[in-house]
Each structure stands twice: as structure tokens, then as C-alpha cells.
């Protein structure tokens, strides 16, 4: 029935020679190429895929780290800014206090100095007054002595002098 066309449809008849050679060649390809090519290629591909995946993962990790770092930096920067503002404010306050203190001290000192001066002036005035009084007294005594020595030669003049002196004292 397979000679239906009256020709030899030979491809459907398995030839032992072909069977033999096909087996040989296929086994050669399978065993040798499998060892020297298919397996190493497969391994290299798997390795490369893993490498790529690792690289992507690492890049993502680094990216996350970078984002974290940036955030940290920003926070630090904000903190630093705040700190600097605080420091400046503190310094200003301190400076102001110092200035006020200085001013106050100066004022106090000035006041003290002026008070001292006033007191001294007063003392000096008092002493001057006392000296003056003493001096004037002495002078008056001198004068009086002189006057007295001159005028007290008579009683009338003594009396006039006394009254005049008394008047002058008032």
C-alpha cells in the first residue's frame, strides 16, 4: 500500500545506517557541545543575570542610602541653621546684657565718682569754710587787736567798736 504511487517512498523506511549515524552525531552534539558550550553558556547567562539583578538591587540600595543621606543633610542643615540663629540670638542677648551692664556700671561709677566729688567738694568747702572762718577769725582778731590796740585807748571808742562789731555780726 505504500507503493501506491508505483514509486519508492523510501523516506518512510527507517534505514539502520541513518539511525546509527544520527545517534552518533546527536550524541556528539549533546555530550561534547553540552560540556564545552551549552553548560558554560547557561552558567555564564545565569551569572550575568544575577549580576545584573545584584547591580540593580545595589543601585536601588545606594539610591535609598543617598536619599537618606540627603534627608539627613537637610535635617542637619536645618538644625545647624536653627543652632546658629539661637547662638546669634544668645550672643546678641549676651552682648546687650553686657552692654547694659557696662552702661550701668559706668553710670554707677560715674555717679559714685560724682558723689565722691560732691562729698569731697562739700568736705573741701566745709574745710575751706572752716579754714576761712578760722582765717577770718584770726584776721578779725588781728584786726580787732590792731583796732583794739589803736581805739581802745578810749572808752568811747571801745564802746562804739563793740556795738559796731555786734552790729556787724548780725
Contacts to other proteins by CB under 8 A: 1-3, 5-23, 25-30, 32-42, 44-45, 48, 51
Minimum Å distance from CB 70 to other proteins? 31
How is residue 99 written as a grid cell? Answer: 552692654
Minimum Å distance from CB 63 to other proteins? 22
Minimum Å distance from CB 46 to other proteins? 8
Closer CB to other proteins, residue 13 or residue 149? 13
Closer CB to other proteins, residue 37 or residue 113? 37
Closer CB to other proteins, residue 48 or residue 60? 48
Amino acid at each position: 500500500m505504500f507503493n501506491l504511487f508505483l514509486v519508492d517512498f523510501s523516506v518512510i523506511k527507517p534505514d539502520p545506517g541513518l539511525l546509527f549515524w544520527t545517534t552518533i552525531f546527536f550524541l556528539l552534539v549533546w555530550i561534547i557541545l553540552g560540556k564545552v558550550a551549552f553548560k558554560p553558556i547557561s552558567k555564564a547567562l545565569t551569572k550575568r543575570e544575577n549580576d545584573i539583578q545584584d547591580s540593580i538591587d545595589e543601585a536601588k540600595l545606594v539610591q535609598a542610602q543617598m536619599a537618606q543621606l540627603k534627608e539627613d543633610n537637610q535635617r542637619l542643615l536645618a538644625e545647624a541653621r536653627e543652632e546658629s540663629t539661637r547662638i546669634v540670638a544668645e550672643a546678641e542677648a549676651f552682648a546687650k546684657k553686657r552692654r547694659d551692664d557696662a552702661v550701668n556700671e559706668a553710670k554707677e561709677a560715674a555717679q559714685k565718682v560724682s558723689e565722691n566729688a560732691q562729698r569731697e567738694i562739700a568736705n573741701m568747702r566745709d574745710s575751706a569754710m572752716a579754714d576761712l572762718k578760722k582765717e577770718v577769725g584770726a584776721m578779725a582778731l588781728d584786726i580787732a587787736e590792731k583796732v583794739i590796740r589803736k581805739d581802745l585807748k578810749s572808752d568811747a571808742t571801745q564802746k562804739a567798736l563793740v556795738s559796731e562789731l555786734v552790729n556787724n555780726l548780725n
